[in-house]
Structure 1
Amino acid sequence: MENLSAMVSAFGFNLSLVTANIVLPVGISFYTFQTLGYTLDVYKRRIEPERNWISFFGFVSFFPQLVAGPIEKAKSLIPQFNQGRVFDYQSGKEGLEMVLWGLFMKVVISGTCAVEADYAYEEYMTLSSPQLVLGQFFFMIQLYCDFAGYSLVAIGVAKLFGFHLSANFDYPYFSRSMQEFWTRWHITLNRWFGDYVFTPMIKKYGETPFRVWLVYLFTFFLIGLWHGPSWTYVIAFAGLAVYFIPRVFLNSKKRYSPVPKLGDLLDIFLLNLILFFHLIFFRSDSVSGALLFIKQMFSEGGWDWLATMPNEQFARLAFVVIFLLVEWMTRTIPHPFAGSRWPSAFRWPAYLLLFTWIANYMDKTQPYIYFQF
């Protein structure tokens, strides 16, 4: 409505619009996706309609993933409500380990990064280039740990009840291309758009390179709008379609070795550099604010600040870097405790250390970022 008013004003007319501020239920987009996917699957005869009301509404409102996913398909989750289950010790143990590591990511790491990221975006007009670069780096880690941590908690809690939910993150910042990144970030959302938007449009309109790229553009545009009716989200996500051009027009599909080589490390760095700038639009309140942030980041001077970085800030940076190193060393498993053969003498002190950290940070933690979506 605001864009319509601005467009009409450009032609010399004054359009007075009345809009309503609608309060939406928490998590509405996630269970809307699940029920819409169910409806489409039934319509396309991929699944049979569910006759058991308890199983169906359990699928719609399953509390661990109700407010933020993972977004589950009916064919994978509804049958789990229709089968009996007994408590399994190993599954419960794995679930608690996922909850513990997920809370550590969400409460401790994301909370630590939020302090620096919020400061950078609140005071960006007065801060130097390195301070803004560091602030944006902290925001990238905050966003990832906030969402990936929450997803791990949801998956872990579901395991305690004998349910198996889909993985939602797979170390996305270690991806080597934009295509790989979108198979590892918010996996269930991207799978949903792939199954119900991208693939049907490709089948309908053909697979010529230009049309495929337009469908990529449209899909990312919708993902941006899903985050909110703001041009910042549209730019942050629709702009990512540009990086699919080599794949679509040049048919460029790299094959990566399991062990990263020097070239792979360069690809990882370049990908994160791209995300670094796109996520400035994601975090900013307006397009003009994002552009000012970037402009200030490239202002001259201020690099001597690195030599006088406050000890508290340096400690937060070192803490986050150590966390990233742990993630890198365990990138082939879902989380550091997964499939662990660590002796009890090592595991239990690690459990207690993480639990203590979480307890100390609990009153400092920030609201979950994706609640607003």
Structure 2
Amino acid sequence: MLYWFIFQKNLKAQNTFLLVTSYVFYGWWDWRFLGLIVLSSAVDYWCGLRMSEDKHSEPTVKKEGLKSWFYDKKKYLGISLLVNLGMLAFFKYFNFFIDSTTDFIQMMGFQAHPETLQIILPVGISFYTFQTLSYSIDVYKGKIEASKDPIAFFTFVAFFPQLVAGPIERAANLLPQFFKRREFQYQQGSTAMKLILWGLFKKMVIADNCALVVNPIFENYQTASGLELIMGAVLFSFQIYGDFSGYSDIAIGVALLLGFKLMVNFRTPYFARDIAEFWRRWHISLSTWFRDYLYIPLGGSRVSTAKAIRNIFIVFLVSGFWHGANWTFIAWGGIHAAMFIPIFLIGKNRVHLDEGDHLIPSFKEILQMLYTFLFVSLAWVVFRSETIGSAWFYLERIFNNPFLSMNFSWFSYDLRIALILFLGLDWVGRFKYNWLENLEGKWYRYIAYVVLGFLIVFWGVFTEAKEFIYFQF
């Protein structure tokens, strides 16, 4: 009410209101970490202004043998990188490096007694750090102009719908929207509510119900049968997809209610026909970030084959490490690199660039989808496991254990029906953002909304609070 009807005619007041509510939203989790996001915003705002001022200046240091790092623009970019990556490294990876070094020293036969800290990981730090870094890099490259409005810029960094789990927005897309007059539009609000409704279904009906089955299987993988372990891997695939894409839908919908358009983060990734297509559809804001700010600067594929393979491995390993301070995430990234490189070498990594125009997939496409989903699901086991050893033991038991026994009571009929419904609706909605868009203008769309609402109420998990998986990253 305040945002649309009180502050609607004053853009500065709208942005200030959004900034305050975003800080309240973030500080509600732990107010002490507000200082980090304010510091990150302030550093990048200042560095952006200085890079913009110095974009035509001569280097301040001219001495034979010194590299161009000492040019003014590079210094300010360096400050931005140092502060943001430094905060991320300390809060997310400090104990990981200490523990890994200790394990290596002890493996070499020496004694080590490290002092580690109980460091709390600030929620969303990986997301807003990458968002601010992309701004600094784009200003440095001259792709965008530096913002001269601190309220707009600080709100861009802390924008609460996508602050804690993305999408990771580019300044070129989101920042200009803070300078445009925003007025409430019915069609925009209708689309937003559809996104939020579908996102809630994904989270509460699909993801949270899958979690009720997945968690006991992963906790008791030492005694579970091979078939149960396969079910755990498959259902975790649906859990993490429903959880993360559900959050993205809700975030995009809430932003749209406020007059902002965020980028699409998922496009039915489990219908991908190879691993390259999967990564064009999964966590799009992160995969494109690494493509633009790491893969291409390394040379991309416009280098020798050996260097291109190196670049692919670097991107996937860093992508895995971005998810968390655990060797399982790095191994998960390495597995995806190993799956990607063969199709890259034979030049098939850009074959499936669209969803196709047919309702019924061919037999070949079905096999390709199943093959890709199988490998992605097995890789998710490594992602979900606490250690490399437990992941290996889990996968080993799938193939060494009899497939005959299974406790089907874990897998309720409601969940089976919900998954079939989810897959069907995801398939028919793949041409648009989601299947509800296909009902636009149809009289029976209201029946679909009511049915979906009832399914959330009756099949959704309300008995225990389940936070979104990607909040931990």
TM class, shorter-chain normalised? over 0.9
Deviations 1:161-199 (A, max 9, x none): 111000000000100111111110000011111111110
Aligned 8 A contact 1:198 1:216 in 2: yes
- For the aligned residues, what is the CA RMSD? 1.9
1:284 pairs with 2:371:
no
- For the 8 Å contact 2:191–2:253, the answer to whether it is kept is yes
Distance 1:258 1:207, change over 3 A: farther
Would you say the 8 A contact 1:114–1:366 is kept in 2?
Answer: no
185 and 280 in structure 1: CA distance in 2 versus 1, 3 angstrom threshold: same
Structure 1 pair 209–150 and aligned structure 2 pair: CA distance change class (3 A): same
Residue 245 of structure 1 corresponds to: 341
What do residues 225-249 of structure 1 show as CA deviations (whole Å, max 9, x unaligned)? Answer: 1111111111111221112223433
What percentage of aligned pairs have identical amino acids?
A: 37
Q: Secondary structure of 1:152's match?
A: helix
Residues 113-152 of structure 1: pairs in structure 2 closer than 5 A:
113-152=210-249
Give the whole-Å Cα distance in 2 for the aligned partners of 1:312 and 1:247.
36
Name 1:330's counterpart in structure 2: 429
Candidates 357, 372, 381, aligned match of 1:271:
372
Q: Which residues of structure 2 form unaligned runs of 5+?
A: 1-97
2:324 is matched with: 228
Q: Does 1:81 align with 2:152?
A: no
Larger radius of gyration: 2
Post-superposition shift, 1:368?
A: 0.7
Given the superposition, is the C-alpha separation of residues 71 and 25 from structure 1 closer, same or farther in structure 2, using an over 3 Å criterion?
Answer: same
Q: Which residues in structure 2 correspond to 1:1-373 (within 5 Å)? A: 1-202=98-299, 207-253=303-349, 255-256=351-352, 257-259=356-358, 260-305=361-406, 309-310=408-409, 313-341=412-440, 343-344=442-443, 346-360=444-458, 361=460, 363-364=462-463, 366-373=466-473
Deviation at 1:265, TM superposition (A): 1.5
Deviation at 1:253, TM superposition (A): 4.4
CA deviations over 1:260-300 (Å, ceiling 9, x no partner):
32222211111111111111000011111111111222234
Q: Any idea what the Cα deviations from partners look like across 1:27-68, whole Å, max 9, x if unmatched?
A: 111111111110111111111110011110111011110111
- Per-residue CA deviations over 1:180-222 (Å, capped at 9, x if unaligned) read 111100000111111111100116x961111011111011111
Shift, 1:156, TM fit: 0.7
Select between 314-323 and 101-110 the one with higher mean Cα deviation: 314-323
3-state SS in 1 of match to 2:376 = helix
With CA pairs under 8 Å and 6+ residues apart, which has the higher RCO, 1 or 2?
A: 1
Partner of 2:3: none
Q: Quick check: 1:59–1:77 contact (8 Å CA) kept in 2?
A: yes
State the shift of 1:304 in Å.
4.8
Give the structure-1-normalised TM-score. Answer: 0.94
| Shift in alpha-carbon separation, 1:56–1:68, aligned structure 2, 3 A | same
1:220, 1:237 within 8 Å by CA — same for their partners in 2?
A: yes
Q: Which whole-Å CA distance do the structure 2 matches of 1:115 and 1:267 have between them?
A: 29
TM-superposed CA distance for 1:354, in Å, is 2.3
The 1:297–1:197 alpha-carbon spacing in structure 2 relative to 1, beyond 3 Å, is: same
Residue correspondences, number = 369
- How many Å apart are 1:362 and its aligned residue? 5.0
Between stretches 331-340 and 229-238, larger displacement belongs to: 331-340
Q: 1:109-128: CA deviations, max 9, x gaps? A: 11111111111101112221
Preserved contact between residue 209 and residue 461 of structure 2 (Cα < 8 Å) = no
TM-score, normalised by the number of residues in structure 2: 0.74
